A and B are shown apart, each in its own frame.
Chain A
Amino acid sequence: MGCEISTRERAGIINPMYDCQPAGAQYAGIGIKDCIPLVHGGQGCTMFVRLLFAQHFKENFDIASTSLHEDSAVFGGHKRIEDGVMVLAQRYPDLRVIPLITTCSTEVIGDDIEGTIHRCNLALKKEFPGRKIHVVPVHTPSFKNSQVGGYSECMLSIIKSLTSAKAAPSGKLNLFPGWVNPGDVVLLKRYLSEMGVDGTVFMDTEDFDSPMLPDKSIHTHGRTTVEDIQGSANAMASIALARYESAAAAQYLKTEFDVPYTLAQTPYGIGNTDAMLQTISQITGKPIPDSLIKERGVALDALQDLAHMFFADKRVALYGHPDLVIGLAQFCLEVELKPVLLLLGDDNSRYKKDPRILEMKKTVDWDMEVFCNADLWELEKRAKDPDTKIDLILGHSKGRYVAIDHNIPMVRVGFPTFDRAGLYRQPTMGYQGAMLLGESIANTLFAHMEFNKDREWLLNTW
Chain B
Amino acid sequence: MPMVLLQCDKDIPEREKHIYLKVDGEDTRSFLPISNAPTIPGTLSERGCSFCGAKLVIGGVLKDTIQMIHGPIGCAYDTWHTKRYPSDNGHFQMKYVWSTDMKESHIVFGGEKRLEKSMHEAFDEMPHIKRMIVYTTCPTALIGDDIKAVAKKVMEARPDVDVFTCECPGFAGVSQSKGHHVLNIGWVNEKVGTVEPEITSKYTINFIGDYNIQGDSQLLQQYWDRLGIQVIAHFTGNANYDDLRAMHRAQLNVVNCARSAGYIANELKKRYGIPRLDIDSWGFNYMAEGIRKICAFFGIEEKGEALIAEEYAKWKPKLDWYKERLTGTKMAIWTGGPRLWHWTKSVEDDLGVKVVAMSSKFGHQEDFEKVIARGDSGTYYIDDGNELEFFEIIELVKPDVIFTGPRVGELVKKLHIPYVNGHAYHNGPYMGFEGFVNLARDMYNAVHNPLLKLAATDIREPKQTPVKEAAE
Contacts and interface: CB of A to CB of B under 8 A. Distances in A.
Interface of A: 10-16, 18-23, 36, 38, 41-45, 47-55, 58-60, 62-70, 72-73, 80-81, 83-88, 90-91, 103-105, 108-109, 141-144, 146, 210-220, 347, 377, 397-398, 401, 405, 418
A52 B80 CA distance: 10
Interface residues of B, number: 81
Contacts of A53: 407
A109 B142 contact: yes
Contacts of A109: 142
Contacts of A36: 44
Contact of B173 (A19, A52, A70): A70
Contacts of B47: 43, 47, 67
Given A52-B78, A85-B42, A14 B125 contact: yes
Contacts of A38: 41-42
A283 B455 CA distance: 45
B46 interface: yes
Given A67-B38, A141-B104, A14 B74 contact: no
A67 B45 contact: yes
Given A42-B171, A44-B52, A212-B413, A217 B42 contact: no
Interface stretch (B115-123, B220-228, B274-282, B344-352): B115-123
Contact of B406 (A55, A220, A377): A55
Contacts of A19: 73-74, 77-78
A39 to B, nearest CB: 10
Contact of A15 (B48, B80, B118, B172): B80
Nearest to A52: B78
B229 interface: no
A213 B104 CA distance: 47
A69 B77 contact: no
Interface string B137-155: 1110011000000000000
Contacts of B100: 11-13
Given A16-B77, A43-B48, A220 B138 contact: no
A401 B95 CA distance: 7
The 10 closest A-B CB pairs, nearest first, are: A12-B118, A20-B74, A42-B170, A44-B49, A84-B41, A84-B42, A48-B78, A105-B138, A54-B407, A142-B72
Interface string B397-423: 000000001111011011110000000
B85 interface: no
B467 interface: yes
B295 interface: no
B294 interface: no
Given A43-B48, A48-B78, A397-B81, A15 B415 contact: no
B468 interface: yes
B416 A216 contact: yes
Nearest to A23: B74
11 contacts: A18-B77, A23-B77, A45-B49, A50-B407, A58-B410, A60-B407, A60-B411, A87-B41, A91-B12, A108-B107, A217-B414
Contacts of A219: 471
Q: Which of B68, B78, B80 counts the most chain A CB atoms within 10 A?
A: B78
Contacts of B266: none
Contacts of B411: 60, 218
B171 A91 contact: no
B201 interface: no
Contacts of B45: 43, 65, 67
A20 B72 contact: yes
Given A54-B410, A64-B44, A67-B41, A214 B139 contact: no
B121 A12 contact: yes
Contact of A104 (B71, B122, B125, B387): B71
Contacts of A108: 107, 138-139, 142-143
B173 A143 contact: no
A216 B415 contact: yes
Nearest to A87: B42
Given A67-B45, A70-B172, A73-B171, A43 B39 contact: yes
B97 interface: yes
Contacts of A47: 46-49, 52
A103 B99 contact: no
Nearest to B12: A87
A322 to B, nearest CB: 15
Contacts of B457: 214
A14 B119 CA distance: 11
B359 to A, nearest CB: 15
Given A13-B101, A109-B142, A213-B467, 8 more contacts: A11-B101, A12-B101, A18-B77, A42-B138, A54-B410, A67-B41, A214-B458, A215-B458
